Structure 1
Amino acid sequence: MGTKQLPGSGDFPSPNDGEQFHNAQPHFLPENVLCFFRVVRVFRGSKELFRLKTTWRRWLTVVAFATAMAWVESAVVYYLRTHIDRIDPYQPHPLPVIGGLGPVELVREFATLVMLFTVGALAARTWRARFGYMLLAFGAWDILYYVFLKLMCDWPHSLLDWDILFLLPLPWWGPVLAPVLISTLMILWGTMATQFEHISPASTPRWKAWMLCTSGAIIALYTFMTDAIHARDGGVPVLRELLPTTFNWPLFGLGLALMSVPVWRSYFELRSKSENVFAEAQTP
């Protein structure tokens, strides 16, 4: 007496077929689902998935530290500006004499940078990843500083409000949007550099991209300090009273474009690597 077979059951191997069943392809699944399982197969048996989880935990830790530092920075600036009645710094006498607090503030700014760069150096083992975490910490800190300052004192009113960005070596002036754009690039490159270190290098040497980036950074710094550079011969009293009236957006845009070169380069490297992985996953 023959065994009754369900319609269509001949399309599937029997569990007794051993290796044939193990290697069978479930053709009833959509192709994108099959591709997902093949990607998992590519990474299975390696340390890749574990490494990715670890680096993302480090990323979150660095961002958490930068967030806390941003709140501290915002609170300190809020205290100082309230003390000198300069919540909005763009007004006459933007940097009034406040006793011995001037030198203390300069050291505090430098110490803040040391703290941000130190946590980046401690978060990774390779110099590329360390630098990436440094930029990530700085970028997150800078953007969240303005977010928290807005929550504390309702300033800035817009991204085009003028701000004193830094005091070393000369006062930096610029619209809030300018440092936010630079910090966004820092976060993007820092994330790609720290989370995707396995990317194979492209044919173009990296130093060319970083030469362009450095040139862009110099241009951006010049746009921030243009007025201070021109007024530096007048000494500290003139710099304290300095109020810029225009910002050179075209020149800053050029600098920003040059600074974005490493970001775009890393993006295309990442896309190329991803295409290779999925191409391997498409192979049965």
Structure 2
Amino acid sequence: MNSLKTTLIWLTLFSIAMGYLETSVVVYLRELYYPDGFDFPLTPIQPSIAITEFWREVATLVMLWGIGTLTGRNKTEKFAFFLYSFAVWDIFYYVFLKVLLGWPASLFTWDILFLIPVPWVGPVLAPCLVSFTMILLTVAVVYLHEKGYRTQITWKEWSFLLAGSFIIIFSFIWDYLQYVEKWGGVTKLWTISSQNSLFMEAPQYIPQQFDWWLFWIGECVLLLAIGLYVKRIVSQPLNKPSKMASPGPVYSGNFADYLDGL
């Protein structure tokens, strides 16, 4: 248990540090592109910077996946620690933005969340809720593993987790895709091979309405997956270490005593 506690402490510190690095990059970008403070519509970003930002996000995911893989004791825990690192990183990213820039003004302030595969937008509260859901799954996996249960995730549970994730992602990209389709067509969306500036396809885009219904459907599917996972695990017998076979009686020189021990 002490080893697990140490692992979780360092995992948390690593993720908080990554959150600060993420915040520092955004501070620099906002100084360059939003000197009067970040707001919509989005300022176009030239291709060289956009490509750098795209691959920086990919590198961030690789680092978070890597730390989960290095610290987890089995496949399920590796995945859970990746989610935990992602969640802590994301939450403290906003904590440090608030400390350094006084932003966001509230949890309902709109933000550009991600660029892969297309821009994600939504109120700050939404990704924070997803992060707490990730932490909930991690707590369930670690607790059940420490109790001695087999913690593998079944295909049925994976299906629910993936479905909930895709629904939430769709809630983040839906408003932006609707705008681009209306004014330029999705074929004009920026890609890493594009010669156009990032956000050029939507120079006047201002978020109108976040689809909270769609988001909450995705969240409920994720919570259902976690609930099904925990219910299935606790209904199974604990993993008990196999008992060593008894070595049997040892011959001590007295044949009668030896026969009595058989």
TM-aligned CA deviation for residue 208 of structure 1: 1.8
Cα distance change, pair 195–87 in 1 and its aligned pair in 2 (3 A): farther
Other-structure match for 1:262: 225
Is contact 2:141–2:151 with CA below 8 Å preserved after alignment?
no
Q: Which amino acid aligns with 1:153?
A: L
The residue that corresponds to 1:250 in the other structure is: 213
After superposition, the CA RMSD in angstroms is 2.5
TM-score computed with the length of structure 2 as normaliser:
0.76
- 2:151 and 2:21 map into 1 onto residues whose CA distance is 39
TM-score by length of 1: 0.71
Q: How does 1:69-218 map to 2 (within 5 A)?
A: 69-85=18-34, 88-92=37-41, 94-98=42-46, 100-197=48-145, 198-200=148-150, 206-218=154-166
Moved more, 235-244 or 111-120: 235-244
User: Cα offset for 1:91?
Assistant: 2.1
1:63 to 1:210, Cα distance in 2 relative to 1, 3 A: same
What is the aligned partner in structure 2 of residue 225 from structure 1? 173
CA drift at 1:261? 2.3
Match of 2:111, as an amino acid? D
Letter of the aligned partner of 2:93 in structure 1? Y
CA distance in 1, matches of 2:26, 2:36: 9
Aligned mates of 1:86, 1:160 — CA distance in 2: 22
Q: Is the 8 A contact 1:89 1:164 kept in 2?
A: no
Cα distance between partner residues in 2 of 1:228 and 1:83: 23
Distance 1:181-1:189 versus aligned 2 partners, 3 A rule? same
User: How much has 1:90 moved relative to structure 2?
Assistant: 3.2
User: How far apart are residue 259 of structure 1 and its match?
Assistant: 1.2
Gapped runs of 5+ residues in structure 2?
181-185, 191-199, 237-262
SS in 2 for 1:196: helix
Aligned to 2:201, the other structure's residue is in SS state: helix
Q: Which runs of 4+ in 1 moved over 3 A?
A: 86-90, 233-236, 265-273
Give the distance between the partners of 1:86 and 1:173, measured in 2 at CA.
Answer: 21
Partner of 1:55: 4
Q: Secondary structure at the match of 1:238?
A: coil
Alpha-carbon deviation of 1:86?
5.8
Q: Which has the larger radius of gyration?
A: 1
Tell me, in whole angstroms, the C-alpha distance in 2 between the residues paired with 1:241 and 1:170: 17
CA distance in 2, matches of 1:87, 1:67: 27
Q: Within 1, Cα distance between the matches of 2:14 and 2:36?
A: 26
The residue aligned with 1:26 is none
Aligned length: 221
Q: Percent identity?
A: 33
Unaligned runs of 5+ in 1: 1-51, 274-284
Query: What is the CA deviation profile of residues 137-161 of structure 1, one whole-angstrom value per residue up to 9, with x for unaligned ones?
Result: 0011001110011000000111100
In the TM superposition, what is the alpha-carbon distance from 1:87 to its structure 2 partner? Answer: 6.9
Letter in 2 for 1:136: Y
Q: Which has the higher helix share?
A: 1
